[in-house]
Amino acid sequence: MKKIELEIIALSHSITQTHSYAVVLGEVSGLRRLPIVIGGFEAQAIAVALERMQPSRPLTHDLMKNLMSALGATLQEVIICDLQEGIFYSKLIIHTEADTIEIDSRTSDAIALAVRFNCPIYTYDHIMDNAGILMDESSTKKKISEGGIEETTTPDDLKSMSLEELENLLTDVLEHEDYIRAIAIRDEINRRK
């Protein structure tokens, strides 16, 4: 089977499930998008890595990366390899000096690690055919690395807060390790400066 390379297009609150997020992966040289519903912790882990934030203590995925690196292993690629009853299945392709191994992974965890290792994410045509969305050519592509995380949950009241209130709120949410909310607050602060 031919692998299709994907990139992260957006990370936002899921419009279909409350308290969930969606990571949208896009075909690198195509118009198909693959939305995947993920949990809040995993969304936070992906957002932290994409925004290159430095938490005061390592998050679980940072620990995994540090452990693998210390053991001389690298994440070579992530493959979203199956879709059963609406659940995506993925595998990590890990390279060591002695071997290359495949490890089963939740897709959200695999993406969080892929971002940390800066490795490619792949899937197959049958998965894109079953769960993908075709975008028309006039749609603009929002890349996180260039335009910030697509945040559909930015509270309207951020705009009504003073700069000092925003900075205090940012400090508070960072202390509580709410990195997705911190990104929205930081973006509002940056817009004003």
Mean pLDDT computed over 143-171:
63
- Are 111 and 123 a contacting pair, CB within 8 Å? no
Q: How confident is residue 177, by pLDDT bands cut at 50, 70 and 90?
A: low
Quick one: pLDDT at residue 83? 93
Quick one: pLDDT at residue 16? 53
Do 91 and 46 lie in one domain? The reply is yes
Domain that holds residue 91: 3-152
Do 35 and 65 lie in one domain? The reply is yes
- b/e 166-188 (16+ beta carbons within 10 angstroms → b): beebbeebbeeeebbbbbbbbeb
- Closest by CA to 102, choosing from 94, 110, 112, is 94
For residue 65, how far is the Cα from the chain centroid?
16
Do 32 and 83 lie in one domain? The reply is yes
Q: Hey, how many other C-beta atoms are within 10 angstroms of the C-beta on 95?
A: 15
Answer positive or negative: Cα dihedral of 164, 166, 169, 174.
Answer: negative
Mean pLDDT computed over 149-167:
67
The tokens for 72 are: 């001389």
The pTM of the full predicted model, rounded to 2 decimals, is 0.73
Number of domains in the chain: 2
Do 11 and 58 lie in one domain? The reply is yes
Q: For all residues of the chain together, what is the average pLDDT?
A: 83
The tokens for 38 are: 């993920």
Q: What is the pLDDT of residues 67-116, one digit of tens each?
A: 999 999 999 999 999 999 889 999 999 999 999 999 999 999 999 999 99
In 85-184, DSSP assigns E strands to 87-95, 100-106, 121-124, 133-134
Do 145 and 174 lie in one domain? The reply is no
Do 63 and 114 lie in one domain? The reply is yes
Do 166 and 95 lie in one domain? The reply is no
Do 148 and 158 lie in one domain? The reply is no
Quick one: pLDDT at residue 1? 84
Question: Who wins on pLDDT, 178 or 29?
Answer: 29
